[in-house]
């Protein structure tokens, strides 16, 4: 049986970090992930298993979502009962109703019960303030003779919460977070965390969320810093991990034993990996069978296709070449060559008959179309056809505008060139050059953003 809370001081502590990818609203599925991680960590002797912020709900519950909140409460109570058996305690994030106020909470489940709870103080403008009530300044949680300070997410961004925890006796800071990916995000996090470690004099474990939610991507990269700011443990970014960290109490406080320090993707490589992870989760978390895209002979279309294959594998990517111009045959030949290199099925669909039929309907009402109007009509037909085909195939439409929305022309060119010599761990596409060199021709006179593509 697991030990219950105790005031007797511990000299060693095994804390497991669960950097995992939840699904928004899939409480039952997220509970399964918790149980799997708990079994894995328990097999390695972990005493406590820490999850990212709002792991059980898979993110922010929109409009307070009473069904999600109730399901999370039931899941917490069920998981808490399971901690009365062998295995580690859980420190897990969930929306939590306390006295009619909904909080972004972190709950300590141990000894068969909800042993303690802490509520996020510093709510962000990204919808949190519309959903949650800020919590009071927290004190440490007592866990088997150790006082754990638990700043939640952005509570670590300012000094107040960490200072309060230090002054009330915290010995280790554990930070469940859901920090979004952006270029150089890890450096920004590390700078914030180092400031709190310096101010408090306490070691800190930062447990970050992972995965795509809509257009947002969380990149993981969880880590542990000792009180002297030395990096003790570093988890990879863009990959799931359950990692044991080993802690020992010294005369001057707790220290984490040096463990694995994974190299992190940065710059263009991180941008590409974020795109692949986000695209994969857009498809899989919405229950789609695969991806559908309009493939043409241009760089952005090629890059979107390669990302889709890296994310899902060629068998789950379907391409159509939607032609409406005199160069249609040549365009299809180039698109088909790219699809063949990727192992993707591509079908040619001429739009001329549909555009002509619509023009015949419109002409009596508005007269003959100008050239620009005909092109706009073809664009509308293209979008409608993709949507209808995706519904029949059970697929999600992938467009360069959706996949590459945050990137200007210079960055998109850099990613296309990068992919010909490198791909991220776990990518399912082919090795080597996959984007034709012709599409990588680049003029110094081309302004960044000149060929920006529309949003999906």
pLDDT band at 326 (very low <50, low <70, confident <90, very high): low
Tokens of 126: 């990204």
Inter-residue contact 51 to 93 (CB < 8 Å): yes
What's the CA dihedral at 139, 79, 4, 9 to 10 degrees?
A: -40
pLDDT digits (tens, 9 = 90+) for 414-430: 999 999 999 999 999 99
Residue 454 has pLDDT above 50, yes or no: no
Phi-psi region of 201 (alpha: psi -120 to 50; beta: other; left: phi over 0): left
Give the residue extent of every domain in the chain: 12-264, 269-440
Residue 449 has pLDDT above 70, yes or no: no
pLDDT digits (tens, 9 = 90+) for 70-83: 999 999 999 999 99
pLDDT digits (tens, 9 = 90+) for 60-69: 987 668 899 9
pLDDT digits (tens, 9 = 90+) for 227-268: 999 999 999 999 999 999 999 999 999 999 999 999 999 999
pLDDT digits (tens, 9 = 90+) for 156-194: 999 999 999 999 999 999 999 999 999 999 999 999 999
In this prediction, residue 354 carries a pLDDT of: 83
- When the pLDDT of each residue in the chain is averaged and rounded to a whole number, the result is 90
pLDDT digits (tens, 9 = 90+) for 104-162: 999 999 999 999 999 999 998 878 999 999 999 999 999 999 999 999 999 999 999 99
Tokens of 327: 């160069």
Residue 456 has pLDDT above 60, yes or no: no
In this prediction, residue 442 carries a pLDDT of: 60
In this prediction, residue 403 carries a pLDDT of: 75
What are the angstrom distances between the C-alpha of 195 and each of 202, 207, 212, 228? 11, 17, 28, 11
371 compared with 310, residue with greater pLDDT: 310
99 compared with 373, residue with greater pLDDT: 99
Round to whole Å and give the CA distance between 227 and 348.
61
Domains 12-264 and 269-440 are alike in CATH topology: no
CATH code of domain 12-264:
3.60.110.10
Inter-residue contact 98 to 132 (CB < 8 Å): no
In the predicted model, what is the mean pLDDT of residues 301-306? 95
Share above pLDDT 90 across residues of the chain, in percent, rounded to a whole number: 75
Residue 446 has pLDDT above 50, yes or no: no
In the predicted model, what is the mean pLDDT of residues 211-225? 95
pLDDT band at 401 (very low <50, low <70, confident <90, very high): confident
Which residue bears the tokens 């105790």?
6
H helix intervals, 207-317: 267-284, 299-312
pLDDT digits (tens, 9 = 90+) for 8-42: 567 999 999 999 999 999 999 999 999 999 999 99
Residue 1 has pLDDT above 50, yes or no: no
Q: How many CB atoms lie within 10 A of CB 433?
A: 12
In this prediction, residue 202 carries a pLDDT of: 98
Classify residue 385 by burial, with Cβ atoms within 10 Å: 0-12, 13-18, 19+: middle
Residue 443 has pLDDT above 70, yes or no: no
Q: Does domain 269-440 have CATH number 3.40.50.620?
A: yes
Residue 453 has pLDDT above 80, yes or no: no
């Amino acid at each position: 049986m697991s030990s219950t809370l105790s005031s007797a001081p511990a000299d060693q502590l095994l804390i497991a970090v669960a950097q995992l990818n939840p699904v928004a609203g899939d409480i039952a599925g997220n509970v399964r992930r918790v149980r799997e991680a708990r079994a894995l960590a328990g097999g390695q002797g972990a005493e406590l298993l820490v999850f990212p912020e709002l792991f059980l709900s898979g993110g922010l519950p929109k409009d307070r979502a009473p069904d999600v909140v109730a399901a999370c409460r039931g899941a917490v109570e069920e998981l808490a009962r399971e901690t009365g058996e062998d295995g580690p305690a859980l420190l897990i994030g969930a929306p939590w109703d306390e006295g009619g106020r909904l909080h972004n909470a972190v709950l300590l489940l141990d000894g068969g019960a909800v042993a303690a709870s802490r509520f996020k103080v510093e709510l962000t403008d990204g919808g949190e303030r519309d959903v949650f009530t800020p919590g009071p300044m927290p004190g440490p949680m007592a866990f088997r003779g150790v006082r754990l300070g638990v700043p939640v997410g952005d509570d670590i961004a300012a000094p107040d919460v960490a200072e309060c925890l230090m002054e009330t006796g915290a010995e280790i800071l554990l930070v469940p977070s859901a920090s979004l990916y952006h270029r150089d995000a890890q450096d920004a996090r590390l700078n914030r965390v180092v400031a709190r470690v310096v101010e408090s004099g306490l070691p800190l474990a930062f447990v970050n969320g992972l995965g795509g939610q809509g257009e947002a991507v969380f990149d993981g990269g969880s880590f542990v810093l000792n009180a002297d700011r030395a990096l003790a443990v570093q988890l990879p970014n863009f990959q799931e991990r359950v990692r044991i960290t080993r802690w020992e109490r010294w005369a001057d406080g707790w220290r984490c034993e040096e463990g694995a320090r994974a190299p992190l993707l940065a710059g263009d490589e991180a941008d590409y990996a974020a795109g692949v992870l986000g695209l994969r989760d857009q498809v899989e978390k919405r229950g789609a069978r695969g991806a559908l895209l309009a493939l043409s002979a241009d760089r952005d279309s090629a890059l979107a296709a390669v990302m889709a294959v890296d994310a899902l594998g060629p068998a789950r990517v379907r391409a159509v070449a939607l032609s409406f111009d005199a160069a249609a045959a040549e365009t299809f030949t180039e698109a088909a060559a790219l699809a063949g290199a990727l192992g993707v099925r591509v079908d040619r669909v001429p739009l001329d008959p549909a555009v002509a039929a619509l023009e015949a309907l419109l002409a009596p009402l508005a007269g003959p179309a100008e050239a620009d109007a005909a092109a706009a009509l073809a664009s509308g037909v293209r979008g409608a056809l993709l949507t209808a085909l995706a519904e029949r195939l059970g697929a999600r439409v992938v467009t360069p505008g959706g996949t590459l929305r945050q990137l200007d022309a210079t960055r998109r060119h850099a990613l296309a060139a990068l992919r010909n010599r490198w791909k991220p761990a776990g990518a399912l596409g082919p090795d080597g050059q996959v984007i034709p060199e012709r599409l990588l021709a680049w003029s110094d006179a081309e302004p960044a953003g000149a060929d920006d593509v529309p949003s999906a």
